[in-house]
Amino acid sequence: MSELDLTALHGMHDALRREVVRLTRFAFRAGPDPRRVLRWRQFERSLRLHFAAEDRALWPPLRRSLAHRPDRLTLLEALEAEHTALEELIDVIDELHAHPGIDLGIGGLGDLTDSLVTGLTGHLEHEEDAVLPLIRQVLTARQWARFTRLHTRPTDLGHWDAAP
């Protein structure tokens, strides 16, 4: 096992967990408070940048290193599917911010934010339990450094733009 420093990744996961719970407490209450929308936008951008760094610099080298392990490739596909589902949920919440009069029926935005908390929390745990051991086993220090650079300096993601 390598001695890769996973501090930044753990820090980001902890921050995402903390913020998604805070958002459900106050950010989606009724009323046009621009601070709530700004806080949502900051969270959304951070999450999308985190996913983009994983998609660009983490999954590809893991996929190459694990090409002989179909069971592990299936795991990476599951994590990518979780990213997609969470991003689709965020898109729906964004649409509600843009059109607050949309009637979602019983539960509405509260149900969506509950789903976001549950989905994101489960995804982060899934990554930590299943992928972090793989990262330590198969990634080189150089591969990890590239991911860390993209993860901590999102401007290095090039033309990718997480803004809505």
**pLDDT attached to residue 161:** 42
Q: Are 57 and 150 in contact (CB under 8 A)?
A: yes
The reported pLDDT for the residue numbered 28 is 56
The rounded distance, in Å, linking the Cα atoms of 52 and 30 is: 31
Determine the pLDDT at residue 22: 85
Which pTM does this prediction carry? 0.84
Asked whether 151 and 9 are in contact (CB, 8 A), the reply is: yes
Per-residue model confidence (pLDDT) at position 162: 39
How many degrees, rounded to 5, is the angle at CA 87 between CA 125 and CA 162? 110
Instruction: State percent of the chain over pLDDT 70.
Output: 79
Q: Which residues of the chain have pLDDT under 50?
A: 1, 158-164
Phi, psi angles (nearest 5°) of residue 28: -110, 15
Predicted pLDDT at 163: 36
Domains of the chain: 7-157 (1.20.120.520)
Q: What is the per-residue pLDDT for 95? A: 80
Give the helix/strand (H/E) hosting 34.
helix 34-53
pLDDT in tens, 105-116: 555 777 888 899
Instruction: Identify whether the C-beta of residue 116 lies closer than 8 Å to the C-beta of residue 89.
Output: yes
